[in-house]
Amino acid sequence: MRYVAFPGHPLPVSQVCLGTMMFGDKCDAALSEAIVARALALGINAFDTAAMYSAGASEQYLGNALKAAPREQLFVATKVVKGVDRQSILASLDESLTRLQMAYVDLYLIHWPVQGMNLTEMMGALNEVVRAGKSRLVGCCNFPAYLLASANAVAAARGWAQLRCNQVAYNLMERGIEVEILPQGSLEQLAITAYRPLAIGLLTGRFLPGMPMDAATRGMTDARVLTWLSQHGRSLERFVAYAQAKGLHPAQLAAAWVMHHPVVTQPILGVSSLSQVESAVQVPDILLSPAERQEITDLFQTEVTEEGLQRFPGTRYNFPRMRRTLTLAVRE
């Protein structure tokens, strides 16, 4: 396993983070513990959960599975389940710590923005969490760049703990974070953790045009599968063929593509079997050159486009390009 720095945290984290959303759903307690034990044995030390996953069972199963592991060698992230007001933030974390059987988490995340949210109240509560030692870092999920910047400006003006991470969806078909969010992560030295790197299974090769849908998979229950399959079916066929030509499983190549963006800290790989853990730990060993990553990118026509996007190089007088570039400014 390879390890990377997580901004603001002293522990190097595994380049792959284990997602536990299926704990308490597809995975019972015994399988969840077996998955975590195997992940630890193979060098994974970063785990992502949330209070809302299986109504708290994900946290409970993860906590049970990690009880015997040295706490200082783990990186555990969880998320607010209720609202973004002070009472919800503080109560949600206390409940999560009880289920996890831990005194603190390493990263406490606001799960989603809320209409009309009070940034001063939210950041004040997150600062209390850090000052109380209940989380080493705080962050957010699914925040637009302007909202994260505004929240951190509120915190900076008051000497409070700032958001150090934005957890966002990123894969070969969902590339919206390349506009504004990834450049912000680069400039402000934020951790960017990427969920849905396999696009709910579409990038595993399990769903291709003309294939029958297995009733046990999300293809029968998630409308996004059929929608994206109709939009990107030919690209998916090309991607699977590309992976096979390289001797790689499509899921591993898809995760490696996410991992090789220079601003992404970790892809979060949700697993529901021991074989998926074995596959996940091989992802950091897949090395892609910038040219190879671009070849894979070009298999899909999914770059975020907007009116006025210019194709000539450079950023001068080219606002759409400025929103994407990682090198427009430096901090000092």
Catalytically active residues are 53
Give the Cα separation of 150 and 100 in Å (integer).
31
Amino acid at 106: D
Place of tokens 């630890």: 40
Q: Sign of the C-alpha dihedral, residues 172, 59, 279, 185?
A: positive
Residue of 144, 150, 94 lying closest to 122 (CA atoms):
150
The alpha carbon of 26 is separated from its chain's Cα centroid by a whole number of angstroms, namely: 20
The alpha carbon of 180 is separated from its chain's Cα centroid by a whole number of angstroms, namely: 17
Element (H, E) at 280: helix 274-280
**In 10 A of CB 331, how many CB atoms?**
6
Indicate the angle between helix axes 145-158 and 181-188, nearest 10 degrees: 30
Element (H, E) at 107: strand 105-110
The alpha carbon of 12 is separated from its chain's Cα centroid by a whole number of angstroms, namely: 17
